[in-house]
Amino acid sequence: MIYVDPKILERVNQWLTPVFDQKTQHTIKEMIAYDPEGLEDSFYRNLEFGTGGMRGIMGVGDNRINKYTLGKNSQGIANYLYKQFPNQPLKVAIAYDCRHNSKELAKVVADVFSANNITVYLFSNLRPTPELSFSVKELGCQCGIVLTASHNPPEYNGYKVYWQDGGQLVPPQDAEIIAEINNLQYGHVKFEAREELIHFVDSALDEAFAKASVKNGSFNTPQTAKDNLKIVFTSLHGTSITMVPKVLEMAGYNNVLLVEEQSAPDGDFPTVESPNPEEPEALKMALELAENEKADIVIGTDPDCDRLGIAVRDTDGKLKLLNGNQAMVVMSHFLLEQWKKEGKLNGKQFLASTIVSTPMVKDITESYGVLYKEGLTGFKWIAKMVKDFPELELIGGGEESFGYMVGDFVRDKDAVTATLLACEIAAQKKNEGSSVYGYLQELYKDYGYYLEQLVSMVKKGKKGEEEILAMMRSLRENPLKEIDGSKVIRIEDYQSGKSLNMKDGSISEMDLPRSNVLIFYTEDGSKIAARPSGTEPKIKFYMSVNERTEDDHYDAAKLQKKIDRIKTELNL
Ligand SMILES: O=P([O-])(O)O[C@H]1O[C@H](COP(=O)(O)O)[C@@H](O)[C@H](O)[C@H]1O
Ligand SMILES: [Mg+2]
């Protein structure tokens, strides 16, 4: 028998008691006999809330997504809701995506809340995550849950938790809820549903959400311009199929081609290697269709429909993928321009992004005299800003990882409204004799040429996690002094909350919550950030370089070479 840590064995033994069903116990016994490594990985820790909820591989164990871990989460949240909202009727909305087990796990979660005398509003079929965020507010719920692991591989599932304002859990609720969950034994979970408390809510909310999306994502585009835009859309086997085509149609877009082979929801994501619009390969089929059909724009959303990938035609007519930063700057500039045109900018608005996104968005925002706010990675931080600054109005929020939020009617990134917004921009620009690509080039001319690239390294399991933490430690112990021949002038360490000025050695405090992120800034304006992903077993390096020349030509190849040199220097 191979050695297994006694602490882990103690956890395992708990799962071999009658609280757990026979099948679960049997699987564990098999793992003890044949797969000690898998056993260790499944039990060495509890699942944690990361950047976008709790995610994990489906299977048995404390570190896996299954009915017991999600049941315990739900029981913990139910207990917490009773403490936070005494004497109030409690209501929770629940949605789920296209993944294996999502529907079944959603019912388990609904059962647990109902067993705790909490009214549950459950969607009877898959729905986009942003629709759930919207529904929490619309239905006056104190909490909302989506069963999804976003764009992770098929073996994953997850649990995104929304609070009363429609945003995902943030401090102090997150830590308090985790404490509540960790205080529970699995035997404390009430699984016996009170079916009369579970209500299906589909059509009323679908209508309200679709209308709100059209209202928030439309910007006076002439109908002829809409008719003149040919769109290819793919749902990549996910939830957006239930909403995006309908919203585009309601908004007046009649020239929309769907990638039929990818329209059917499927948790295996059979036609893609990864259903992540960040991966160029994900839009391959959509690009082929667009080529054949001579479409102007290609859009694809991730399985839970909160992020989107966009491709547009460049000056040579070739389809080109925009990265998340490029899509964000175009959308942000367009929104600011619209607000300005309508005379709505009065110093009480703000635009938001994250510390690992392009610095270009700050310049753009401030050039309109609008406040720019930056949070840690994750849209939950942008939603928190909306909650923390009720006197300010959010124009839009975006980040490098292909997410955008238009206004604050949804308190999370929303690929439904963002898809419509992208089409509005494309239709208007085409109508003006330009294009989205041309628009981006104009922005580079005005604000400087920027190029960003993300490099992710996958490191799985317990060992992988240790390696990632060691890499971060080593970057702290031997910080970069020079990057591509340019001196590092500032290092921000979000774990200690300190920003170190390398020129004079002075240290200042940063006022964001603690997080394992390091950012290096160089004299020539480059920015390199490193952090462990909070949703996948990866370490991420975000590179941003730029140059400002009088030349009105964006030399992407030159900036790309610079990024390549940096990658070589950092062994990426
Ligand atoms: O995965 P999604 O679409 O729910 O998105 C979530 O995770 C992304 C990646 O986070 P990380 O870099 O920690 O993996 C974040 O950028 C995003 O704001 C968050 O909502
Ligand atoms: Mg997602």
Domain borders along the chain are 1-40, 45-200, 208-447, 449-569
Burial class (CB in 10 A: 0-12, 13-18, 19+), 391: exposed
Question: Could you confirm whether 515 is annotated as catalytic?
Answer: no
Can you say how many angstroms the Cα of residue 227 is from the centroid of all Cα atoms in its chain? 31
Please tell me what DSSP assigns to residue 296. Answer: S
Q: How far is CA 82 from CA 88, 270, 355, 479, 480, in A?
A: 8, 42, 35, 47, 49
Please tell me what DSSP assigns to residue 16. Answer: T
How many A from CA of 498 to the centre of ligand 1?
24
Q: Please say whether the dihedral angle defined by the alpha carbons of residues 419, 420, 424 and 425, taken in this order, is positive or negative.
A: negative
Return the SS3 of 538.
Answer: strand
- Which one from 133, 150, 240, 515 is the annotated catalytic residue? 150
- Residue 3 — pLDDT band, cuts 50, 70, 90? confident
> If you average pLDDT over residues 135-159, what whole number do you get?
97
CA atoms of 246 and 258, how far apart (whole Å): 12
Specify the residue with its C-alpha closest to ligand 1, atom 17.
378
> If you average pLDDT over residues 409-420, what whole number do you get?
98
For the domain spanning 208-447, the CATH number is 3.40.120.10
The b/e string for 232-248 (b: 16+ C-beta within 10 A; e otherwise) is: bbbbbbbbbbbbbbbbb
- Residue 2 — pLDDT band, cuts 50, 70, 90? low
Region of 484 on the Ramachandran plot (φ > 0 left; ψ -120 to 50 alpha; else beta): left
Q: Give every strand in the sheet of 143-147, ordered side by side.
A: 49-50, 53-57, 156-163, 143-147, 91-96, 119-122, 198-200
Please tell me what DSSP assigns to residue 266. Answer: -
* Residues whose CB falls within 8 Å of the CB of residue 533, separated by 6 or more in sequence, listed in order: 50, 51, 456, 539, 540
CA-wise closest residue to 473 among 516, 428, 413 = 516
Q: How far is CA 302 from CA 82, 187, 294, 402, 571, in A?
A: 34, 36, 24, 10, 30
Substitution site in 379, 399, 517, 538 for ligand 1 pocket (most atoms within 8 Å of beta carbon): 379
**Each residue's pLDDT tens digit, 543-564:** 999 998 766 677 888 999 999 9
Residue 171 is which amino acid? Answer: P
Q: CA-based diameter of the chain, in Å?
A: 73
Q: Answer yes or no: is pLDDT of 372 > 60.
A: yes
Same fold, 45-200 and 208-447: yes
> If you average pLDDT over residues 249-267, what whole number do you get?
98
> If you average pLDDT over residues 191-217, what whole number do you get?
97
- Residue 365 — pLDDT band, cuts 50, 70, 90? very high
CATH topology of domain 45-200: Alpha-D-Glucose-1,6-Bisphosphate; Chain A, domain 3 (3.40.120)
Please tell me what DSSP assigns to residue 169. Answer: P
**Helix residue spans in 85-193 (DSSP H):** 102-115, 129-138, 173-182
**Each residue's pLDDT tens digit, 36-80:** 999 999 999 999 888 888 999 999 999 999 999 999 999 999 999
How many A from CA of 470 to the centre of ligand 1?
22
Burial class (CB in 10 A: 0-12, 13-18, 19+), 33: exposed
Report strand pairing: 498-501 vs 349-354: unpaired
How many A from CA of 52 to the centre of ligand 1?
5
CA-wise closest residue to 240 among 424, 423, 415, 103 = 415
For the domain spanning 449-569, the CATH number is 3.30.310
Query: How does the average pLDDT of the chain come out, rounded?
Result: 96
Q: Which ligand is nearest to the CA of 128?
A: 2
Counts of helices then strands in the chain (DSSP H, E)? 18, 24
Report strand pairing: 231-234 vs 256-258: parallel
Ligand 1 contacts (CB < 6 A) are: 50-52, 150-151, 302, 306-307, 377-379, 399, 401, 403, 413, 533-536, 540
**Helix residue spans in 375-510 (DSSP H):** 379-388, 415-431, 436-447, 461-477
* Residues whose CB falls within 8 Å of the CB of residue 230, separated by 6 or more in sequence, listed in order: 255, 257, 293, 294, 295, 296, 297
How many A from CA of 39 to the centre of ligand 1?
28
Structure tokens at 556: 């992407």
